[in-house]
Structure 1
Amino acid sequence: MEATFFPFIMAVIWIGILLMVGTYLRAKVPFLQRMLFPASLIGGLIGFVLINMGWLGLPTTAGWKTLDQGPFGVLTFHLFAFSFVGIGFLESPKQTNNKVVLRGALWIALLFTMMFSWQALLGKGVFSAWVGLFGGNFETVNGYLLGSGFTQGPGQTQAYASIWENIYHTSSAVNTGLAFAAVGFLVAGLVGVPLALYGIKRGWTANDDSKVLPRSLVRGIMDADDHPCCAFSTTHPANIDSFGFHMGLMAATYGIAYLVAVAWTLYAPHSIAGLGFGMLFFWGMLAAMGVRKFMHFRRINTLVDNETSRRITSMAVDFMICAVFMGIRFNTLQDILAPFVLSVLAATLLTLVLCLWFARRSPEYGFERCLALFGYCTGTAASGLLLLRIADPEFKTPVAVEIGAMNVCLLFIFDTTITLAMPFAPKEGFPLAFIFLALGVGIPIIMYFLKLIRKPSF
């Protein structure tokens, strides 16, 4: 039985340990509180150091056994795909018929796609320029992963990179992509939080109650007398626990996604067969949406509680963020360290400038949308909500709802173009740069004609 703990069970145990350490440090260290670093980020950074120093492992009856980065990369992929199953089960907010919410969702979705495009072009440009000027034995196509790492997060980036490595034999794609995604979380905190505080000081917010952050938000844990309800039971515990039912439903749906991936791999044309498992997250979300529709048809949709699905999804994201840092091999980054750092700095500045420029010209709630967009375009949706909560602690503006509604626009209009194109980036002659350039230039023009760009408001 001892052998069954290695490597994946032990990897999960280490993630749990580091999440507890991160929670404790967030509650005790003032700097981490000022930066609002989540426990998953704190624990992940500690884990990154430990595993690259060779200090992460487990005691066995035969002595100490070292744990390497491999299991954490696998967990990152599956946690990300599983979280998309949870996203597929989430019901759209009822307020999405509001014109302001729809306008805001479209505004965020368009700019999110534009940011991806310019970040990816910038990363590829810096990598190519570095090789042209100074030489190097690394794949310049990996520079495109800056866009997915910053905007789409580690899971989707790993999905693209895995396809590149398996089909086109692109070296170090997964490690480079995970590194971009991990640094993106740092950018969201180190740049986004001071931006939010500066905007509040300058009076850019729509509400006047954003001067003091709640104690629970700063420390990261709730007070003893403050325990808000986070979910509702839909099954009787004498039959099956409600949380267990939701986990079972999501696990079964993940199994459907696996079958879709197998079928795609077996029957799709050889040139795209590798997308089968690489796009597992996408199949998972579609499968969950299909199951949800079927449950609506059978009038049993009340068995799915939105908040329980959200909590399970958020749990998967917390574990994923912590795991992504421990899946990075620092020694493989040394060859690209200079262009990597340069591209990250340039992308951070570009993202900040574009967010502020368009936010000042937003039809309404410009600064709140700026924070949500910046967090989303450097970390994840959770990063965007975290920054938004600094300026809008009670979510009195509709921007939080817009973040949820924008996923509909992304899925069916904009993000699908990038999602379907990115897997073919290393293919010789594939016009990915032209696709990104068309989106990067075309989207501001579309926004102008849709009257989503107006006179500066702050």
Structure 2
Amino acid sequence: MSAESVGFSLLLLGLLLIIGKWVRVGTPLLQDLFLPSSLIAGMIALIIGPEILGRILDIQIIPSRTLETWRYLPGLMINIVFAALFIGKKIPNVKTIWRLAGPQVILGYIISFGQYVVGLVLSIFILAPVFGMNPMSGALIEVGFVGGHGTAAGLRETFVEVGFAEGGDLAIGLATVGVLGGVLIGIGLINWGIRKNKLVNQFQSTDRSVLERKGIIELDTREPAGFLSTRSESIEPLSLHFGYIAIAILLGYSILQGMIYIENVTWGAMTGVYLLKYIPLFPLAMLGGIIVQLVLDKIDKHNTIDRSLINRIQGLALDILIVSALATLSLTVIGENLMPFIILALGGILWTVFAFVFLAPRILPDYWFERGIGDFGQSMGITATGLLLMQVTDPDNKTPALESFGYKQLLLELFVGGGLFTAASIPLIFQFGATSILIFTSTITIGALIFGLVVYGRKK
């Protein structure tokens, strides 16, 4: 792989992003589905790639060297996405977070760990004995749905290392199903909620302007993408913010290597059970980001961090990740495991809808629909899906849904949705077996459910 081929691959990826944007601008259906341009660009790359048109027409439209480069990008970009999660955000104490977002944290854990329970039950009793699937397939629902494309792509190497290489493609496929299902089913649930008067602030519609539907901000209402916190002759502000993210990733890498060393000289050497070496870097990069922010809170007297610039870097990395992950998705793997794929997708969808319709009203003490629809969207697709659905139900932020949803991420994403447990779930199943992890996740799900019903259910 030459430097020239790497550069050309990145240029081609940029071209695809622009094509995806203008396809969305010109396609009302895609606007109504709220699909991001990166997802559209990735699907275009998949269609013109070797898996579809390349197979049908027997031609190589996208160079093989480009595809080889793209396969490395998701594993790199996911580190930037997670390292940037908490940089530039004021990190409150746990008591404050719990007071504002405790019920949603509990609901989020019920949904996420419940997806493991559903997946592992399907894996143990149907997928493994009937279809010969690897028992680690039980983790795919949570990895694909709550984790999203970023986590699914970031765990590709972990799937390969534990001998379940097809798991990466299946997880990315489930992430795509989750994003589409989150929007379509979410909008359907909102319409149901309006008809049944489930919303506190009823409304008839959320009419969007033509430009808003196309994803373009009107010229006279545009805001800066970020503020200049340093003078350019000193250091370019974008470079400074990238440097903070780089430090977070380096800290995460150091933590991971230290953990692996400790495992190698202690319980690993004594028992032969190795777990930490299979954990990817990105959840530790997230911890590195928290450390960076805590240090900056103490020493950065000039407030040089601008969250808007961090968001732009994170957004760029996520767009690159989604396009490259979808472009290199193996439809052959999904085709060879089509029935298990469909079973997992249906199992994940049914559980998540059940959790929203039947559990959210009983756990969330107030504004259950406005709060719960955000959790549903995030648990089906990505955080942006949850934000989108909350915007539809509460466009003027008259409820505490958005604030509590934001605080919830600090305690939720640290462990699930791409956090520590999500990253460790596949190595855990690999080392201890699907049945042991099913018992563990079932215990957490039932415990969280009882806690939510007893503690928060009484506050309604």
Instruction: Please report the TM-score for the alignment, with normalisation by the length of structure 2.
Output: 0.85
What secondary structure does 2:385 align onto?
A: helix
CA distance in 1, matches of 2:404, 2:132: 43
Q: Aligned runs of 1:184-199 on 2, under 5 Å?
A: 184-199=178-193
Task: Pick the aligned partner of 1:370 from 355, 369, 372.
Answer: 372
Distance 1:356 1:185, change over 3 A: same
SS of equivalent to 1:427: helix
Of the three residues 377, 382, 385, the one matched with 1:383 is: 385
Which residue in the other structure is 1:122 paired with? 118
* Structure 1: runs of 5 or more not aligned: 57-62
Structure 1 residues 21 and 206, CA gap change in structure 2 (3 angstroms): farther
Aligned equivalents of 1:320, 1:88: Cα separation in 2: 19
What is the match of residue 176 of structure 1?
170
Contact 2:156–2:165 (CA<8 Å) still a contact in 1?
no
Query: Match of 1:37?
Result: 35
Q: Distance in 2 between matches of 1:92 and 1:65?
A: 45
| Residue equivalent to 1:53 | 52
Q: Is the 8 A contact 1:69 1:329 kept in 2?
A: no
* 1:341, distance to aligned residue in structure 2 (A): 0.9
Are the equivalent residues in 2 in contact too, given 1:257–1:280 (CA < 8 A)? Answer: yes
Question: Does residue 436 of the first structure (1) align with residue 441 of the second (2)?
Answer: yes
Deviations 1:113-135 (A, max 9, x none): 221222223223334444466x4
Residue 306 of structure 2 aligns with which residue? 305
Residue of structure 2 aligned with 1:136, choices 117, 131, 135? 131
Select 2:254's aligned residue among 248, 255, 259.
259
**Aligned pairs for 1:291-440 within 5 A:** 291-300=292-301, 302-361=303-362, 362-410=364-412, 416=420, 419-429=423-433, 431-440=436-445
Superimposed CA distance per residue, residues 339-386 of structure 1 (whole angstroms, 9 cap, x where no aligned partner): 211221232122112112233332112111122011110112111111
Q: Secondary structure at the match of 2:324?
A: helix
Specify the code of the residue in structure 1 equivalent to 2:163: H
Cα pair 1:260 1:276 within 8 Å, conserved: no
Matched residues, number = 443
How far does the alpha carbon of each residue in 1:172-202 deviate from its partner, in whole angstroms, 9 at most, with x for none?
Answer: 2222222222221121122223323443455
1:161 CA displacement: 5.2
Aligned 8 A contact 2:279 2:424 in 1: no
One-letter amino acid of the structure 2 residue matched with residue 406 of structure 1: K
Cα distance in structure 2, aligned partners of 1:393 and 1:228: 19
**Higher mean displacement: 120-129 or 179-188:** 120-129
Question: Does the residue aligned with 1:450 lie in a helix, a strand or coil?
Answer: helix
Tell me which residue corresponds to 1:227: 222
Give secondary structure in 2 for the equivalent of 1:268. helix
- Percent identical among aligned pairs is 21
Query: Using a 3 Å threshold, how does the CA distance of structure 1 residues 125 and 232 change in structure 2: closer, same or farther?
Result: same
Partner of 1:449: 454
Q: State the match for 2:3 in structure 1.
A: 4
Matches of 1:64 and 1:380, distance apart in 2:
28
Q: TM-score, normalised by structure 1?
A: 0.86
Equivalent residue in structure 2 for 1:112, among 108, 113, 127: 108
Please state how far the C-alpha of 1:66 moved relative to its aligned partner: 3.0
1:197-226 CA-partner distances (Å, limit 9, x unpaired): 443455433335672243254221112222
Cα root mean square deviation, aligned: 3.1
User: Which deviates more, 197-206 or 336-345?
Assistant: 197-206
Tell me the residue number matched to 2:14: 16
Structure 1 79/277 Cα, relative in aligned 2: closer, same or farther at 3 Å? farther
Unaligned runs of 5+ in 2: 56-60
